[in-house]
Amino acid sequence: MHVPDFAVKIITVVFWLFIWQAIYVCVGQEILVVSPACVFTRLCNLVTDGGFWFTAFATMGRIMEGFIIGVLSGLVLAVLAARSHVCRTLMQPVVLIVKATPVASFIILALVWMHADFVPAFSASLIVFPVVWGNVLEGIQKTDEKLLQMGRMFQFGKMKTAGRIYVPSVAPYFTAACTTGLGLSWKGGVAAEVLSDLPFSVGGHIYDSKIYLETVDLFAWTAVVIIFSVFLEFLMKRLMKVATDKFNLNI
């Protein structure tokens, strides 16, 4: 019997909420684990507060700024690396260092280098950059050589070759990189807010909840990060699918 996708998703959510509730009952200490009902009630209280939306959108703005910078820089440098062996050789150590260095190290260094307001965007961009760079470069390198030969045979120019061959080939890699990078940018950006203790930030509220042992607030603000991240990822997938379909129709 075929089960609709939405039913599977609902069952999955209910299953993990049940596991969460079971853990709460077993632990029996709200300072360690709070119940889903308490978190939901706290979320309802938060969304009715005007300050919540200002804080949430301020955090989203910082993180999306870093995400866009990371995507654009990764995309441009991946194209350059695909065209130039020297550029690729020079970029590989940088990408390896960025991937291997703990996020906390970059955040602490950034707090020394720049104003705290810019640290979340900087952190998010550093996390996104290597993901986009690696995926786009791989997509370019794995473009079907037979398609390129066909393009040369029909005397495609550089723009036509890029539009009709490279873009469709790289699009799945780019979409996967953006999807992965968006989730990672929220992790890095909010971590930067926590260490920066910025006012009007989700990370600042998470830090305060830890300091004052307000576990309900800790869970609630973490849930806010997850909800915003999942919603933006869903929206981005939809937009990229529409953009890809229109691009394919135009060419």
Tens-of-pLDDT digits for all 251 residues of the chain?
565 677 777 888 889 889 988 998 898 887 888 888 899 998 998 888 878 888 999 999 999 999 999 999 999 999 898 888 888 888 888 888 888 888 888 888 888 888 888 889 999 999 999 999 999 888 888 876 776 667 666 667 667 666 666 777 888 888 888 888 888 899 889 989 888 878 888 888 888 888 878 889 999 999 999 988 888 888 888 887 777 666 554 55
Listed in sequence order, the residues at least 6 apart from 45 whose beta carbon sits closer than 8 Å to its beta carbon are none
Q: How far apart are CA 1 and CA 7, in angstroms?
A: 13
Q: With respect to residue 134, please indicate whether it lies within any of the assigned structural domains.
A: yes
| Residues 74, 130 contacting (CB under 8 angstroms) | yes
Indicate if 192 and 244 belong to the same structural domain. yes
In the numeric block, which tokens belong to residue 43? Answer: 């979320």
- Residue 38, domain extent: 1-23+34-48
Regarding whether 193 and 140 lie in a shared domain, the answer is yes
Cβ atoms 97, 166 nearer than 8 A:
no
- Are residues 55 and 155 located together in one domain of the fold? yes
Phi-psi region of 201 (alpha: psi -120 to 50; beta: other; left: phi over 0): beta
For residue 115, count CB atoms less than 10 angstroms from its CB and return exposed for 0-12, middle for 13-18, buried for 19 or more.
Answer: exposed
The whole-number pLDDT of residue 209 equals: 87
The structural domain count of the chain equals 2
Distance between CA atoms of 92 and 19, rounded to whole angstroms? Answer: 43
Q: What is the pLDDT of residue 97?
A: 87
pLDDT for residue 148: 65
What letter represents residue 199's amino acid? P
| Neighbour-count burial for 151-173, b at 16+ CB within 10 Å, e otherwise | beeeebeeeebeebbbbebbbeb
Domain match, 3 and 86 both: no
Whether 119 and 236 map to the same domain: the answer is: yes
pLDDT reported for residue 245: 64
What is the model's pTM?
Answer: 0.85
Residue 250: the pLDDT is 53
pLDDT at 131: 92
Backbone φ, ψ for residue 49 (5° rounding) = -95, 125
Determine, yes or no, domain membership for 149: yes
Residues 16 and 71 grouped into a single domain:
no
The predicted pLDDT at position 130 comes to 92
CB atoms within 10 A of CB 105: 9
Q: Is 28 part of a structural domain of the chain?
A: no
Q: How many angstroms separate the CA atoms of 124 and 61, rounded?
A: 11
Amino acid in position 105? S
Quick one: 149 and 44 in the same domain?
Answer: no
